[in-house]
Structure 1
Amino acid sequence: MSQDTQRTRAATIRSDDQAIETARRLAAEFAIDAAARDRERRLPLNEIEAFSASGLWGIGVPREFGGIDASVRTIAQVFDTISAADSSLGQIPQNHFATLERLRHDGSPSQQDFFFSRALAGERFGNATAEPGDRLPSEHETRVRRNANGGGFVLTGRKVYSTGALFAHWIPVAARDDDGLPVTAFVARHARGVEVIDDWSGFGQRTTASGQVRLDEVELDALQIVARGRHANIDTANAVSQLIHAAIDLGIGRASLDETRRFLRALAHPARGSGASHATDDPYTLRDIGALTVDLHAAEALTARAATSIDLARDRDAPREAVAAAIVATAEAKIVTTRFALAASSKLFELAGTQATLSEHNLDRHWRNARTHTLHDSVRWKYHAVGQYSLNDLVCDPFTYANPYTKLDG
């Protein structure tokens, strides 16, 4: 299971505070060329290397395996901070952290020991989850089968929207085993039979390289196959993944509002007929900036609330009621951060005026990124999930809201 992908030995992060300060430092560096990377669709290879070498990609590792076991609140703040600078750089490690969380719930001790140590060493986990046609996990055609010769396993399938795979050392692949049960197969990025295709052409999140992964009879051993969800019918692993997506959207909205304020102070003109001498005195502009600021604070508060709920329900032995509350709190945060990112990135142009549309500023990247990233899953189903929980005491996995719900007292 050797690796060829570039890797710099990761630094050691020793506390949540250090993680947040490191994220702020990197965000200041990443923001400098973010507009140019987006305009030129230039993959952030050096930035990703610096990002993982900082030690931030290992902060989700539990203490018993050498990590700091950063709180979910800290992890969300790191993603918010990085995404405000460059939301593509925010999205690329999202699946890495989701994988660490899934290992916490589903990995055997030997799998946890091996893959957590890899993360601390600076190796990156990508993603190969979705399949063409947006099939449900129970319908995935990607299969792990025992080798006909009796030694090891082979993996075959095709995945799309594989954010992070191109930059990864390991690609966690969602698959089914011989019994049709869900597993995650950890595939070495450069193993024989693995092809990562950079064909992502979305108008937003342009530099995430969210293309295809094709797997042709890839050989695996038992250590690389993690059974999924065998310990509980609901857990917080997917809630962590969802909350990171919310933090990315929060960062996009934050950057949009910051750009709006900058333009209003330096470049924008007051609306004709307003009687204002400066754009910052326009009464309707003040009203809209006030509304967006309230939306920002609401999004921050619900994201922090969801993170705290997950932290309280993160253990395998947590009460089902606590896990359910964390899942629903995360859905609420995702609703509000989606609305905020879309509103702030659209109001940017209305309030900042025609100059904001000039290609030299590339401010449309914020709306393109918000519109693209918030399509990751259906917010309309999150309203449905909140309603089911509030009215009927029902909860379900946050990636499959359309699936049957679980009664909390069942």
Structure 2
Amino acid sequence: MSTLPRRLHSPAQAIAAAHEIAEAIAALAADPLLNRELPRRQAQLLSDSGITAIGVPAALGGLGASVETIVETVRIISRADGGVGQLLQIHNVMLRGVLSGYPDEVRDGVVSDVLAGKRLGNALAEVGGKNKFALKTRVERRADGKLILNGSKFYSTGAYLAEWISLTAASDDGGAGVLLQRDTPGLTLVDDWDAFGQNNSVSGTVIFDNIELDERYLLRRQGPMKRTGLTFPQILHAAIDTGIAAGALQAGIDYLNQHARPWVESEVERASDEPHIIRQIGEYAVALRAAESLLRDAARTFDAHEREPDNKALEDELILSVATARAHADGASLKISSDIFSLLGASSSLSKWNLDRFWRNARVHTTHDPIRWRLHHVGNYYLNGIDPGEYTAILNAKQKAGASR
């Protein structure tokens, strides 16, 4: 007999719940024998803890958590396992879309499932086209008037273990969003995510084969996307990388204290007393603290922007602060997770320790959205006075030109 997830009543409870399950998730992540197992236990821990429901508005029975609280839960879980953190990240992103776009009856049905512990996944990106927005997945109206969906997606984070899949498709009327329940006839979820990192994001293939759509679950794009339309997924990606950096540093410190031997020239009894190691750990900690501080600042700016959505200066600052947090999180996660092996010694590379999981996760996750373009927007703002943006501008241009048809 299944039980309902814990109901969380405050931000403090949400943060505490994330810390509590992070311990169990970290223990699973540390076991190299589980590297290729589907993260069913981890996903269930997310649901049972109640943190997958904190983004539901209070008026609909949820916590109505701030962006700052949601960001912090994703960071905490990613410290334990970056792949599981990405499951939580995409769930929150897709939930936000459902809350803001679909009819009330559709929204309320999905919210009811979320409050019962069900999760959302995505099916947005495709492979094989000129770029990620060259969509071959299409919605077409059949002669009998029914809407039919055909195509496939890859990088479908969380979809394999989700109750609801949110996707994008092209049509003769432009781009469209679609919600599908996992048991929809014609929908196939494939467990074929086989990267060297972020294994637990289960970002594999979803196939749509002549799916007959309920029009209530199809959302036509109305007007251009907001300039900050991608800022929410961006800040949660920064939370993932910041969490990975923290997990890598703590795992390295634990290994230094429990297993590492001091270098012969150091004339100290413990590796943790070696001055060069102390200094280097300090450098890593400074990089991590900077990333965490910038992430908190960006999250608070996000919440301020939501209180004043028409404040142009605040909108600019939001985009700049999220780009800055992403850039620092990217650098900290890659540097710490890779470079720390230089302090731990050759034995730390043995598979039994599974310490490379942090680097593998960081290296794969940081390819998601090139930091060079976040830096471009920041640089263009400071150098040329160009309003900072994201690739929402590209999406809007393609939509206007009919490129998604």
Q: TM-score, normalised by structure 1?
A: 0.90
Q: Which residue of 2 is the match for residue 408 of structure 1? A: none
Shift of 1:162: 0.8
Change (3 A) 1:387 1:232: same
Change (3 A) 1:178 1:401: closer
Q: Which residue of 1 is the match for residue 194 of structure 2? A: 201
Return the alpha-carbon distance in structure 1 between the equivalents of residues 339 and 381 of structure 2. Answer: 33
Q: Which residue of 1 is the match for residue 86 of structure 2? A: 91
Change (3 A) 1:306 1:146: same
Change (3 A) 1:175 1:39: same
Which amino acid is 1:148 matched to? Answer: A
Return the alpha-carbon distance in structure 1 between the equivalents of residues 32 and 98 of structure 2. Answer: 33
Pairing of 1:97-246 with structure 2 (within 5 A): 97-133=92-128, 135-136=130-131, 138-151=133-146, 153-180=147-174, 182-228=175-221, 230=223, 233-235=226-228, 237-246=229-238
Return the alpha-carbon distance in structure 1 between the equivalents of residues 204 and 254 of structure 2. Answer: 35
Shift of 1:103: 3.0
Return the alpha-carbon distance in structure 1 between the equivalents of residues 86 and 304 of structure 2. Answer: 25
Q: Which residue of 1 is the match for residue 260 of structure 2? A: 268
Return the alpha-carbon distance in structure 2 between the equivalents of residues 49 and 167 of structure 1. Answer: 10
8 Å Cα contact 1:37/1:207 also seen in 2: no
Change (3 A) 1:196 1:157: same
Change (3 A) 1:331 1:399: farther
Return the alpha-carbon distance in structure 2 between the equivalents of residues 7 and 218 of structure 1. Answer: 31
Q: Which residue of 1 is the match for residue 348 of structure 2? A: 356
8 Å Cα contact 2:225/2:392 also seen in 1: no
Change (3 A) 1:89 1:254: same
SS in structure 1 of the partner of residue 185 of structure 2 = coil
Unmatched 5+ residue regions in structure 2? Answer: 398-405
Pairing of 1:49-88 with structure 2 (within 5 A): 49-88=44-83
Return the alpha-carbon distance in structure 2 between the equivalents of residues 244 and 72 of structure 1. Answer: 9
Q: Which residue of 1 is the match for residue 402 of structure 2? A: none
8 Å Cα contact 1:145/1:178 also seen in 2: yes
Shift of 1:118: 2.8
8 Å Cα contact 1:331/1:398 also seen in 2: no
Unmatched 5+ residue regions in structure 1? Answer: 1-5, 405-410
| Structure with greater helix percent | 2
Return the alpha-carbon distance in structure 2 between the equivalents of residues 382 and 14 of structure 1. Answer: 36
8 Å Cα contact 1:239/1:398 also seen in 2: no
Q: Which residue of 2 is the match for residue 16 of structure 1? A: 11
Name the stretch that deviates more: 371-380 or 258-267: 258-267
Q: Which residue of 2 is the match for residue 3 of structure 1? A: none
Change (3 A) 1:104 1:385: farther
Q: Which residue of 2 is the match for residue 27 of structure 1? A: 22
Change (3 A) 1:210 1:127: same
Shift of 1:397: 2.7
Name the stretch that deviates more: 314-323 or 214-223: 314-323
8 Å Cα contact 1:87/1:205 also seen in 2: yes
Percent sequence identity is: 37
Which amino acid is 2:207 matched to? Answer: R
Shift of 1:129: 0.7
Return the alpha-carbon distance in structure 2 between the equivalents of residues 273 and 379 of structure 1. Answer: 40
SS in structure 1 of the partner of residue 76 of structure 2 = helix
8 Å Cα contact 2:125/2:133 also seen in 1: no
Q: Which residue of 1 is the match for residue 401 of structure 2? A: none
Return the alpha-carbon distance in structure 2 between the equivalents of residues 201 and 133 of structure 1. Answer: 17
Q: TM-score, normalised by structure 2?
A: 0.91
Which amino acid is 2:182 matched to? Answer: R
Pairing of 1:294-313 with structure 2 (within 5 A): 294-313=286-305
Shift of 1:187: 1.0
Q: Which residue of 1 is the match for residue 400 of structure 2? A: none
Shift of 1:322: 2.1
Q: Which of the residues 267, 275, 278 maps onto 2:270?
A: 278
8 Å Cα contact 2:225/2:396 also seen in 1: no
Return the alpha-carbon distance in structure 1 between the equivalents of residues 341 and 167 of structure 2. Answer: 40
Tell me the matched-pair count.
396
Return the alpha-carbon distance in structure 1 between the equivalents of residues 359 and 392 of structure 2. Answer: 24
- Deviation string, structure 1 residues 274-325 (Cα, Å, up to 9, x no partner): 3434212222212211111111110001100111111112369432332232
- Deviation string, structure 1 residues 183-222 (Cα, Å, up to 9, x no partner): 2100111211111111111011123221111111112212
* Residue 36 (structure 1) aligned with residue 28 (structure 2): no
- Deviation string, structure 1 residues 207-240 (Cα, Å, up to 9, x no partner): 32211111111122122112346375323x4211
8 Å Cα contact 1:246/1:303 also seen in 2: yes
Change (3 A) 1:148 1:403: closer
* Residue 343 (structure 1) aligned with residue 342 (structure 2): no
Q: Which residue of 1 is the match for residue 403 of structure 2? A: none
